[in-house]
Amino acid sequence: MEVELKPGERIDDLQRDGLRIIQDPERFCFGMDAVLLSGFATAADPVKGIVVGNSMEGKRVLDMGTGTGILPILLSSKTKASELIGLEIQEDSAEMAKRSIDLNDLSPRVSIVCGDIKDASNIFGAASFDVITCNPPYMIGGHGLQNPDSPKAIARHEVMCTFEDIATQAEKLLKPSGRLFLVHRPFRLSEIMVTLTKHRLEPKRMQLVYPYIDKEPNMVLIEAVRGGKPRITVERPLIIYKAPGEYTQEVYDIYGY
């Protein structure tokens, strides 16, 4: 289905199954973190050797803070989930994500709901999802921001919700043994682990992401299970670039090239 673009918007090719997405560079464009999260959520379990994404077959999936809708769109191709819902508080972003869903003819399997993460359990009901994904704001608070109400500030800083809010709602929204997949920054790792376990979201799998093999990690991918038993698998590091401007084969595999 063709859709109307608003001033400043563009359509980007996701290079996967013909999928496309509407973006506005003045608002916020999805980054590599969202793509890596889609790969982590659908990767092979390093212990059991099964493809995690296949276990989403027939499942209901929620992406909290979906922004452009990139994760539900990618997961529509990578999984056999029966329903994928993106929750987004910013009306303009939610409306743009809805048009991307129409652009790809993904409705009714994929849908976008405009609403507040802090109210998610009231919107959808308790224990209503098998899987939750989240690419949350990384920076604490809005201190020093010239415009904390701007779309980019809301996406990057904890202006509209905190990680505590996300964990609180994930605990309520997930069914027993339901899984939460998230991407965050390593400098907050201690806080993340404490907050997850506080809300009975047991970290089960973790992977650090490095821009180059000789640099410090700048992202961390985590899988947590609601009510899971304590035991975590730390996967081998994911390296993004083998040379400036040249991805490693692992990253190309995640993109699906």
pLDDT at 3: 87
- What pLDDT score was predicted for residue 28? 81
List, for residues 131-140, the tens digit of each pLDDT value. Answer: 999 998 766 7
| Contact (Cβ atoms closer than 8 angstroms) between residue 167 and residue 118 | no
Predicted confidence at residue 246, as pLDDT, reads 94
Strands 110-114 and 174-184, bridge-based pairing? unpaired
- At residue 140, the pLDDT reads 72
**Contact status, residue 8 vs residue 24, Cβ threshold 8 Å:** yes
145, two tokens? 């921001």
The answer, yes or no, to whether residue 160 has pLDDT greater than 90, is no
Point out the least confidently predicted range of 155-169, 178-192, 202-216, 222-236: 155-169
Query: Helices 163-173 and 189-198 meet at what angle, rounded to 10?
Result: 30
> Is the pLDDT at 221 greater than 80, yes or no?
yes
CATH no., domain 10-255: 3.40.50.150
Q: Specify the pTM.
A: 0.91
- Whether 53 shows a pLDDT value over 60: the answer reads no
Give the per-residue pLDDT at 145. 53
